[in-house]
């Protein structure tokens, strides 16, 4: 498992460097340095912050797992030509150097973060005496939750979906730092192990998390409701509708993630709430988004086909502008002109304040409360409740509610409307491809020209070759 082992050896130092560069002065390869790093609560938190920096990097949610690679797989963009971004990716050329590079980045960076979390968890027990009860519960709760979350992210990308092949060999579930290759767990086993981590995470965080008393700035950490949100995702992935429903409903019923104020969405650029901040359950922050999201991706430069967008007619189809979507605040405010062409603008960096707690940019959504409403709609035993949850989102987006007619209460109709909502709400956020995969769609909108069929092979990203070479257990 060379792709994992190469960075495990120096992991503690590389993670702490992201938040504490002075650690280079303390014999980085020695166990003494590691002991000193975890000799205080500050050291634990600095190392954990390093994991958050890893998660927010371009290799993961800063780009590849949000606006970039995975969104290209969902056909959010129509790039083409030799200079077009993600052209091989959106054409599902999984043997191309482009796709191999992106998948390798995701694999290595995610396992890098997991190794850091395992180190934190080891020292939470080994150096328990340096942590207060509150710090222990919070740090260990976040670390366990992030470990379950990152493994599930890898599972969603590199393994068959649960609905297709629950017993298929999937990925290694790493719970310790060592140099040994590990037998990959099956799809079912990975989900079970992730559920164990996340349930323990939620139990620990429930004792101490300030978000439970209204501190929503905790949205930038893996908080109690983040653990619940990923639990809801995994339950739904496994087809456990009852648990998915109750878990998602707990989040919605908390009232801590209200719908965005529409006036903020339509405000001038400096105060425009492009990401619906109040609705974010978990988000990560990256101060450098401008350098790729605006400068390279979502504005015109040279050729429209080189950048990340689609023809305006496609957006109008997606948001049903000719029928119910003309006033949809997502269509009206999250797509803007750049030199005469329409581009997604939710990641344009235009905040007029430098105060972190007030900024409306530098954020990458990971879990939205609207997704929890869609999970409720998909799993509710009552069709009335399912349609009611969809209607709450529609009304919050200035889209007319669907009347409670017999036709609209049909489960197939409701599922089709849920699909439309994922397409609108999660645009350029990396979740749509996994929705298609979980539901095993055999056709998706805007698939590449000339592609006559869409099969399960398009959902299965290749395990990196160096992992296959150095891990004989596949």
Q: Which of 374, 405, 406 is nearest to 390 (CA)?
A: 374
CB 310 within 8 A of CB 448: no
H or E element: which one contains 344? strand 341-344
Predicted pLDDT at 122: 97
Kindly report the pTM of this predicted structure.
0.93
Give the mean pLDDT of 244-259: 98
Q: What is the number of other CB atoms lying within 10 angstroms of the CB of residue 156?
A: 23
Q: What is the number of other CB atoms lying within 10 angstroms of the CB of residue 454?
A: 16
CB 328 within 8 A of CB 398: yes
Predicted pLDDT at 449: 87
Q: Which of 281, 275, 150 is nearest to 223 (CA)?
A: 281
Taking the C-alpha atoms of residue 58 and residue 306, their distance in angstroms, rounded to an integer, is 19
Give the mean pLDDT of 54-65: 98
The highest-confidence range among 21-25, 78-82, 377-381, by mean pLDDT, is 377-381
Predicted pLDDT at 454: 86
- 386-418 pLDDT, tens per residue? 999 999 999 999 999 999 999 999 999 999 999
Predicted pLDDT at 32: 55
Q: Which residues contact 457 (CB under 8 A, 6 or more apart)?
A: none
Q: What percent of the chain has pLDDT over 70?
A: 93
Average model confidence (pLDDT) across the chain? 93
- 353-366 pLDDT, tens per residue? 989 888 999 999 99
H or E element: which one contains 2? helix 2-8
How far is Cα of residue 448 from the mean position of the Cα atoms in its chain? 24
Predicted pLDDT at 104: 98
Give the mean pLDDT of 213-224: 95
Q: Which residues contact 5 (CB under 8 A, 6 or more apart)?
A: 179, 470
């Amino acid at each position: 498992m060379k792709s994992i082992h190469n960075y495990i050896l120096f992991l503690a130092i590389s993670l702490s460097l992201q938040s504490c560069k002075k650690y280079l002065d303390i014999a980085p390869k020695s166990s003494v340095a590691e002991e000193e790093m975890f000799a205080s609560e500050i050291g634990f938190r600095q190392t954990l912050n390093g994991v958050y920096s890893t998660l927010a990097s371009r290799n993961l949610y800063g780009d590849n797992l949000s606006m970039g690679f995975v969104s290209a797989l969902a056909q959010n963009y129509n790039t083409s030509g030799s200079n077009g971004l993600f052209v091989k990716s959106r054409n599902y050329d999984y043997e191309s150097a482009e796709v191999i590079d992106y998948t390798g980045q995701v694999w290595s960076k995610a396992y890098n973060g997991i190794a850091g979390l395992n180190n934190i968890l080891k020292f939470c027990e080994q150096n328990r005496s340096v942590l207060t009860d509150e710090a222990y519960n919070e740090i260990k709760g976040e670390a366990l939750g992030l470990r379950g979350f990152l493994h599930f992210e890898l599972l969603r990308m590199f393994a068959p979906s649960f609905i297709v092949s629950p017993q298929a060999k999937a990925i290694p579930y790493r719970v310790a730092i060592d140099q040994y290759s590990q037998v990959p767990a099956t799809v079912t086993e990975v989900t079970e192990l992730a559920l164990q981590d996340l349930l323990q995470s939620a139990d620990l965080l429930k004792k101490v998390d300030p978000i439970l008393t209204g501190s929503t700035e905790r949205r930038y950490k893996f908080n109690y409701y983040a653990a619940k949100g990923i639990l809801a995702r995994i339950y739904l992935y496994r087809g456990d509708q009852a648990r998915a429903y109750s878990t998602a409903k707990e989040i919605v019923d908390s009232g801590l993630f209200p719908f965005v104020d529409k006036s903020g969405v339509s405000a001038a650029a400096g105060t425009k709430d492009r990401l619906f901040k109040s609705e974010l359950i978990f988000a990560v922050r990256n101060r450098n988004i401008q350098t790729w999201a605006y400068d390279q991706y979502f504005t015109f430069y040279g050729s429209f086909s080189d950048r990340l967008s689609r023809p305006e007619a496609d957006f109008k189809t997606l948001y049903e502008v000719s029928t119910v979507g003309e006033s949809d605040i997502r269509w009206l405010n999250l797509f803007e002109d750049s030199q005469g062409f329409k581009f997604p603008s939710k990641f344009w960096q235009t905040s007029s304040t430098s105060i972190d707690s007030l900024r409306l940019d530098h954020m990458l959504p990971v879990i939205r409360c609207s997704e929890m409403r869609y999970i409720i709609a998909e799993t509710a035993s009552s069709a009335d409740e399912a349609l009611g949850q969809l209607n709450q989102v529609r009304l919050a987006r200035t889209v007319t509610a669907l009347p409670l007619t017999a036709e609209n209460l049909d489960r197939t109709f409701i599922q089709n409307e849920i699909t439309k909502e994922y397409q609108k709400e999660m645009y350029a956020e990396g979740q749509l491809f996994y929705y298609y995969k979980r539901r095993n769609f055999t056709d998706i909108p805007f698939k590449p020209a000339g592609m006559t069929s869409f099969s399960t092979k398009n959902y299965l990203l290749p395990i990196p070759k160096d992992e296959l070479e150095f891990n004989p257990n596949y």
